[in-house]
Amino acid sequence: MNKLPLTISETQKGLKDKKFSAVELVDSYLANIEKNKDLNAFNTISSETAYKQAKEADKILGYKDTGILGDYPLLGVNVAHKDLFLTKGIRTTASSKVLESYVPAYSATAVTRMEKAGAIMIGKTNCDAWAHGASGENSDFGPTLNPWNRAYVPGGSSSGSAAAVSAGLSLISTGTDTGGSIRQPANFCGVTGFKPTYGAVSRYGVISMASSLDCVGSFGHMVEDVEIIFNVTKGSDGYDSTVVNTKHEARSTKIKIGIPKEYFIDGLNKEVEKSAIEASKVFEKEGVELVEISLPNTKYAIDVYYIIQPAEVSSNLGRYDGVRYGNSRGSFGAEAKRRIMLGTYVLSAGYYDAYYLKAQKVRSKIIQDFDKVFESVDAILAPVSPTPAFRLGEKASDPLQMYLADIFTVSANLVGIPAIAIPSGFTKEKLPLGFQLMSPRFSEQTLFTLGKLYQKSTSYDPKLPS
Amino acid sequence: MSRLSKADVLHVAKLANLDLTEVEIKKFLAQLSSIIEHVSELNKVDTTNIEPTSQTTGLENVFREDEIKLSSLDQDAALSGTDDTYNAFFKVPAILEGRTDK
């Protein structure tokens, strides 16, 4: 194959026009993975499964009745799953030594639904162990590198998933977003990353991090591609009782975007700021009204997050005792231990009210800010992270500095709203830039409409790093 | 707010069922203290009459009929994660000690 297709529609057009077969697509991705082995984007390559699924896709493509293709919205689409998604018969590690040789007996709902839609699983991607991190450096199997510049981090925790799509090792990938773990690496790697509303997609079979915050989402080059994945994966499965079935509609046709002044603060990188403002101008040119808004409790979001999240982490990681599967608790890495300790402390007798309960109350105030703002605007535009990708090792020794990289992303998780990170160019040093859009609960359609409008208006043409 | 003491770290490690080395204890003492100091900013926020949030989409109790309909793992699949089994049961570490008064 000369040039890899970078969108779902281009992929499926090529398959239907017989420009390439699904098996040839798998050949190309596997060759690219081999060529980019130094990125360390994958923990496991599932070539056997991939070829089996590709042959099945080619068989379906050969049917005379082409009407059947509508039943397979992801037909022939190669997907890499974050190694937090259980995959029956294929090793799933959470990038932790605790689960180094764990082979699940069942698959996550998101995985099963994508397979049923015709997707081809190419492998399992590296991430910060247990999804704890903002750089990918907390993986027990070594860091993933940024495909645009290998001296830089790809972001985290879904580091390998973002890097894999960005480098053309897979067309799309899955991720989890608990405090920014999809949007921030998407932003650092120059791809689109989507986090749905809390409770829109089942988390059954996805290794839990912090249960009041965890969301299952995806990466792709185009907004329309993450929309397709969302439509395949959303809705209840009977196994995750937080899932709500709804229409995910936009509230109005005349969309207003709010620009929160609390996200354009001192210390925000100038190129990041400029790029987000330019993105807002694109919307203005398209007739979208921009409104200055205020979310006064934003400054407390990171503190609330770093109480609630470790508390829930310490509880969820309590199940790993090495008895039924996996290795003993001594195999936890430094960051997991740190979060278990922090979470256990804020939940312990004598400190629960001062930390955990207090954080849950301030969380309510942050939610009130957003609910009030959404009375007058349909979406919020903001930077994703205060800086572009940082250098490997730059923040690794200081956990507090690393935690502050999540400062603009955690609010969407605390409030439970959907958000999307969209690429918007490059810095002078050729590192990706981007911005995020957030909208009210279950109004995913607003994000897709705005995201597609932006990519159309800027004639967005995704490229792989050379 | 108060910084952590070494006794706090040891107590929390015991609650969390983690065996820490001396090096880890020293490292976590410093790191956890600085994180706790940072998050203690929240004490400045007035939360009088504010209800805590633990669920964001307003769901309360979600019920289903009490009947068996969901598929489940068979015994072999359920035990497939470990080699440490006995008569189709998981083997677990002893938590009780033998009596010494007999």
The count of residues in chain B is 102
The pLDDT assigned to B2 comes to: 55
The pLDDT assigned to A266 comes to: 82
Residues of A in contact with B84 (CB under 8 A): 323
Is residue A252 predicted with pLDDT exceeding 80? no
> Which of these is catalytic: A82, A124, A234, A395?
A82
pLDDT in tens, A51-98: 999 999 999 999 888 788 889 999 999 999 999 999 999 999 999 999
Is residue B70 predicted with pLDDT exceeding 70? no
Is residue A434 predicted with pLDDT exceeding 70? yes
Higher pLDDT, A176 or B66: A176
> Which of these is catalytic: A28, A46, A170, A181?
A181
Closest partner CB to B57 (pick from A324, A399, A416) = A416
DSSP codes of every residue in B19-56? ---HHHHHHHHHHHHHHHHHHGGGGGS--TTPPP-S-S
Q: How far is residue A185's CA from residue A419's CA, in Å, rounded to a whole number? A: 14
Q: How far is residue A47's CA from residue A132's CA, in Å, rounded to a whole number? A: 28
- Mark yes or no for CB contact B90/A323 under 8 Å: yes
**Spatial contact of A453 and A259, defined as CB atoms under 8 Å apart:** no
Contact residues for A303 (Cβ-Cβ < 8 A; gap 6+): A359, A362, B38, B39, B41, B42
The pLDDT assigned to A223 comes to: 98
pLDDT tier for residue A235 given thresholds of 50, 70 and 90: very high
Report the run of H or E that residue A164 belongs to, with start and end.
helix A159-166
The pLDDT assigned to A399 comes to: 80
- When the pLDDT of each residue in chain B is averaged and rounded to a whole number, the result is 89
Distance from CA of B48 to the nearest CA of A (A): 9
Is residue B1 predicted with pLDDT exceeding 60? no
The number of C-beta contacts closer than 8 angstroms across A and B is: 145
What letter does residue A284 receive in the DSSP assignment? H
Kindly report the number of other CB atoms within 10 A of residue B72's CB atom. 8
Q: How far is residue B76's CA from residue A88's CA, in Å, rounded to a whole number? A: 14
Is residue A276 predicted with pLDDT exceeding 90? yes
| Cβ within 8 Å of B, A 126-165 | none
Partners of A218 in beta bridges: A174, A194
Token pair belonging to A239: 């196994």
- Mark yes or no for CB contact B53/A363 under 8 Å: yes
Is residue A25 predicted with pLDDT exceeding 50? yes
Is residue A349 predicted with pLDDT exceeding 50? yes
Q: Please give, one letter per residue, the 3-state secondary structure of A102-127.
A: CCCCCCCHHHHHHHHCCCEEEEEECC
The count of residues in chain A is 466
pTM of the model: 0.96
Token pair belonging to A425: 């160019």
| Separation of first and last alpha carbons in chain B | 51
Distance from CA of B24 to the nearest CA of A (A): 8
pLDDT in tens, A129-162: 999 999 999 999 999 999 999 999 999 999 999 9
> Which of these is catalytic: A46, A135, A157, A173?
A157
Q: How far is residue B34's CA from residue A302's CA, in Å, rounded to a whole number? A: 14
Q: Which residue of B has its CA nearest to A300?
A: B42
Residues of A in contact with B56 (CB under 8 A): 198-199, 212, 367, 414-416, 441
The pLDDT assigned to A126 comes to: 98
Residues B10-13: contacts with CB within 8 Å, 24+ apart?
A: B11/A348, B12/A341, B12/A344, B12/A345, B12/A348, B13/A341
Partners of A219 in beta bridges: A173, A193
Distance from CA of A459 to the nearest CA of B (A): 36
pLDDT in tens, A393-412: 998 888 877 888 889 999 99
Residues of B in contact with A359 (CB under 8 A): 39, 42
Active site residue A82: yes
Token pair belonging to A189: 């790697």
The pLDDT assigned to A466 comes to: 84
Contact residues for A33 (Cβ-Cβ < 8 A; gap 6+): A41, A42, A45, A122, A123, A169
Q: CB-based contact (8 Å) between B12 and chain A?
A: yes
Closest partner CB to B53 (pick from A102, A360, A400) = A360
Q: How far is residue A380's CA from residue A255's CA, in Å, rounded to a whole number? A: 11
pLDDT tier for residue A463 given thresholds of 50, 70 and 90: very high
Report the pLDDT averaged over residues A275-280.
98
Report the run of H or E that residue A292 belongs to, with start and end.
strand A289-293
The pLDDT assigned to A92 comes to: 98
Distance from CA of A308 to the nearest CA of B (A): 9
- Mark yes or no for CB contact A338/B32 under 8 Å: yes
Active site residue A95: no
- When the pLDDT of each residue in chain A is averaged and rounded to a whole number, the result is 96
- Mark yes or no for CB contact B77/A105 under 8 Å: yes
| Separation of first and last alpha carbons in chain A | 17
DSSP codes of every residue in A24-75? HHHHHHHHHHHHTGGG--EEEE-HHHHHHHHHHHHHHHT-S-GGGGGG-TTT
Q: Which residue of A has its CA nearest to B38?
A: A303
Active site residue A430: no
pLDDT in tens, A216-232: 999 999 999 999 999 99
- Backbone phi, psi, residue A43, to 5°: -90, -35
Pairing of strands A256-260, A379-382: parallel
What letter does residue A99 receive in the DSSP assignment? G
With H, G, I as helix, E, B as strand and everything else as coil, classify residue A433: strand
Report the pLDDT averaged over residues A288-300.
96
Partners of A78 in beta bridges: A120
* Amino acid in position A224: E
ipTM here = 0.92
- Mark yes or no for CB contact A238/B64 under 8 Å: yes
